Amino acid sequence: MDDTTAHTSPSHRERWREEIAAAVRDPDILWTRLRLPRLLLPAGRRAAEAFPLLAPEPLLRRIRPGDPDDPILRQILPLGAELEAEPGFTADPLQEAAQCAGTGLLHKYAGRSLIVATGACAVHCRYCFRRHFPYAGEAGWRSALEQLPGDAEEVILSGGDPLTLDDEALEEFFARAADHPSVQRLRMHTRMPVAVPSRVTERLLEAIAASRLPVVVVVHANHPAEIDDETERALNALESAARAVLNQSVLLRGVNDDADCLAALSRRLFDAGCLPYYLHLLDPVDGAAHFQIDDTEARRIAAETAARLPGYMVPRLVREHPGASAKTVITPRL
């Protein structure tokens, strides 16, 4: 398939479903395929019982076989370290579950309502702050839309990954949200253009471009190796259809805890039509403590990253506190 047909051919329209269906879910298969140390496998199996392994083919293709330290692999690899309880780490670090229960609706910040549209993802990121989230209790995005507060200015479609919904459902979402009198903008948070770029179909692009409300797409990449040529094409296509395409990353030990790496990520994103937006400190979720970087080191890495980039490519280093009215911006410092 050449570049010009990448987002239009009939086979492409369904490829994303096949790629998710064929994702690796069994640790034994992952270990064999990527020639990983067998010593890590028994604990990896146990970690995957607590939070299942889910690794789609497009991401697997970007991982170096035989290298347990590969930065993409680290993000999806179940490890024994996840089973160790750490003080301060909890199942629901942002205290969302109670607020969301029964509605799928979160009012985190003034004027912005977040809809947990689905519990499904195309990839399971081991550091995900919603890795223990009780998705089964939601009422669905249609019901959540009906319960929007009268002052909702922006609706954020989140998950899980909202691009696991099909194009028809997203078209309906765009139309219904636009009928709400106070809503001015839509935002979608998705890792799909990075994990399964074939999800950026022609129909999706048309739906975004045709939406009566401007659509902001926030993608999630943590390392420049995640932006291969297919993801770059998908991001560029999104940038043509949406009002803006932004990226948020999480600062992760063993993945991107290095200024050269983060600067390369920003440049790669910019080339793909996507602006770096936030660099999050890890939310202290059970099972992810091995990714944590302390504030002093995070400030230093952020300062060194900023020194390598023009200002418009520097993501803001932030932390989220449960119940706070905005994210807390952390000042980079050497």
Closest CA to 60 of 97, 86, 35: 35
C-beta of 124 vs 306, nearer to ligand SF4: 124
How far apart, in whole angstroms, are the C-alpha atoms of residue 68 and residue 76?
Answer: 11
Q: What is d(CA 123, CA 222) in angstroms, rounded to the nearest whole number?
A: 14
Is 124 or 233 the residue whose CB approaches ligand SF4 more closely?
124
Taking residue 200's Cβ as centre, other Cβ atoms within 10 Å add up to: 27
Please report how close the Cβ of residue 94 comes to ligand SF4 at its closest, in angstroms: 12
Give, to the nearest 10 degrees, the angle between helix 229-241 and helix 259-271: 50
Residue 306 identity (one-letter amino acid): A
Size of the site for ligand SF4 (CB under 6 A): 10
Establish if 280 lies at the interface with ligand SF4 (CB under 6 A): no
What residues contact 218, with CB distance under 8 A and at least 6 apart?
A: 187, 188, 189, 190, 245, 246, 247, 248, 277
Torsion of CA 256, 261, 263, 269, to 10 degrees: -80
- Least distance between ligand SF4 and beta carbon 112 (Å): 18
DSSP 201: -
Is the distance from CB of 55 to CB of 31 less than 8 angstroms? no
Query: Min. distance of Cβ 177 from ligand SF4 in angstroms?
Result: 21
Q: Is 58 in the site for ligand SF4 (CB under 6 A)?
A: no
The residue among 78 and 332 lying less far from ligand SF4, judged by its C-beta, is 78
DSSP letter string over 181-192?
TT--EEEEEESH
CA nearest neighbour of 62 among 210, 194, 216: 194
By CB under 6 A, the residues from 185 to 214 that bind ligand SF4 are: 191
Q: Does residue 53 bind ligand SF4 (CB under 6 A)?
A: no
**Is residue 108 a contact residue for ligand SF4 (CB under 6 A)?**
no
Least distance from ligand SF4 to the Cβ atom of residue 269, Å: 17
| Nearer CB in complex with ligand SF4: 291/306 | 291
- Under a CB-based contact definition with an 8 Å cutoff, are residues 192 and 199 in contact? yes
Stretch binding ligand SF4 (CB under 6 A), from 89-97, 155-163, 172-180, 266-274: 155-163
Q: Which residue number, 111 or 284, has a Cβ lying nearer to ligand SF4?
A: 284
Whether the CB-CB separation of 297 and 262 falls below 8 Å is answered with no
Member of 56, 159, 162, 197 binding ligand SF4 (CB under 6 A): 159
Convert residues 117-136 into a mask of x (bound to ligand SF4 by CB under 6 A) and - (unbound): ----x-xxx--x-x------
Least spacing, CB of residue 265 vs ligand SF4, in Å: 16
- Residue 46 CB, nearest distance to ligand SF4 (Å)? 19
Decide whether 186 or 192 has the Cβ nearer to ligand SF4. Answer: 192
Comparing CB distances to ligand SF4, the nearer of 19 and 161 is 161
Among candidate residues 112, 122, 119, 29, the one with its CA nearest the CA of residue 78:
29
Minimum CB–partner distance for residue 76 and ligand SF4 (Å): 9
Q: For 80-184, where are the E strands, in sequence order?
A: 105-109, 112-116, 154-158
Residue 161 engages ligand SF4 in binding (rule: CB under 6 A): yes
Binding site for ligand SF4 (CB under 6 A): 121, 123-125, 128, 130, 159-161, 191
